[in-house]
Amino acid sequence: MSGLRPPAGMIGSAPARPLARGRALASRCGIILALAAAAAPSALAGEGAPQLGGISAVPATFSAGEPITRSYFRPHIAAGGTAHEEALLRNSSSHTVSILVYPVEGLTGVTSGAVYSSRGSAMHGPGRWVTPALARVTLAPGGARRLAFTVRVPRGTQPGDHLAGIAFQNATPSRSGGRFSITQILRIVIGVEVIVPGPAAAQIQVEGASLGPLGGTQRAAVIVALRNGGRLLCKPALTVTLHGAQGATRTVSRRLEAILPGDTIPYPLPWPQPLAPGAYTIAAQASDCGQAVTISAAASLGQPLAGSSSAAPTARRRTPLPWALLAGACAAAALVSLLLLLFVRRRERRRSEPVAYGHGQRL
């Protein structure tokens, strides 16, 4: 008698589902690793080009004495002068891409740090000084090219730091399907920090302080109005002491990112403790950006606010990615996939072996 086999379609039906799940899990894990690698900070400041779907952009040349110029431009230009710069674009993707090129204005974000204006926004400062040679470029797969641009500083410009940028934006935004359509616009901005020689200094100013919730939450924050009244970029240190109506006192310190000259921001400092309604006194000091400045302000709170767990009494630090955890998860997924594969093959071999029926056994 020929060996008995399971009905057609039985092999790989039930066992195939866990096997497919294992392979899918391993595949997803690979995607997680790819995203984590893309998000990993460079080992050295200034290294690593910003990425845009396989497109990278960096200064074409840099100064060996200023490693940061690997990442952005820092031309020294006298008032009334002109500088010529070049960016290097590379396309490491497998398809041709079309890229829009345009100048942008440097701004200070609400939580400090440089951000840039959007395409089409009115510019009134150094963004108007930047003129790209081309408004649109096309890169073939694996292609690279240099893009020239000019920076012209108007006569009468004050000495100090002036931030602009040159943006590279995908000319064909991707759109998601389904009931809710989302248009994704990707761009890279290389900063252009124009340094106009002459006497200049940074000077932080504290213009006020109040209490309120962090945006979109009911968590406590001390809102400190900070202004860079000088002419140089600077990263101030902020120390806030809050005295409560019941005598409770707490101090929180934080190192901010850059504040551009002439910019004012309502900096929201997350407060670690819950705050009850009542009257408070705020003492805020800003330092390391010119002469240290301290103010005292009375504030009142009309509703209770929860403590902000993200608040820390020290400077902000980058949270390292859990590489060991990700690697362990991927290794476990691979092991599960291998064990499922071996199980299915072993089960298939057993079912394919001839079965000998002894005397008295029923078929």
pLDDT, one tens digit per residue, over 129-187 is 999 999 999 999 999 999 999 999 999 999 999 999 999 999 887 777 677 778 778 89
The model's pLDDT over 93-114, given as tens digits with 9 standing for 90+, comes to 999 999 999 999 999 999 999 9
Burial class (CB in 10 A: 0-12, 13-18, 19+), 181: exposed
Identify the CATH number of the domain defined by range 204-301.
2.60.40.10
- Note the pLDDT tens digit of each residue in 191-240: 999 999 999 999 999 999 999 999 889 999 999 999 999 999 999 999 99
Where does the pLDDT of residue 53 fall: very low under 50, low under 70, confident under 90, or very high at 90 and above?
low
Q: Domain 46-196 adopts which CATH fold?
A: Immunoglobulin-like (2.60.40)
* Domain 204-301 in the same topology as domain 46-196: yes
Q: Can you give the residue ranges of every domain in the chain?
A: 16-41+322-349, 46-196, 204-301
List of E strands, 35-121: 51-52, 55-59, 82-91, 97-108, 114-116
Q: Name the region of 187 (left: φ>0; alpha: ψ -120 to 50; beta: rest).
A: beta
Sign of the Cα pseudo-torsion (117, 122, 126, 128, in order): positive
Question: How large is the average pLDDT for residues 326-338?
Answer: 53
Q: Token pair for residue 36?
A: 């984590």
Indicate the pTM of the whole model.
0.69
For the stretch 104-140, pLDDT in tens is 999 999 999 999 999 999 999 999 999 999 999 999 9
Residues 70-99: pLDDT tens digits? Answer: 999 999 999 999 999 999 999 999 999 999
Lowest mean pLDDT among 228-242, 287-301, 349-363: 349-363
Residue 197's pLDDT is 98
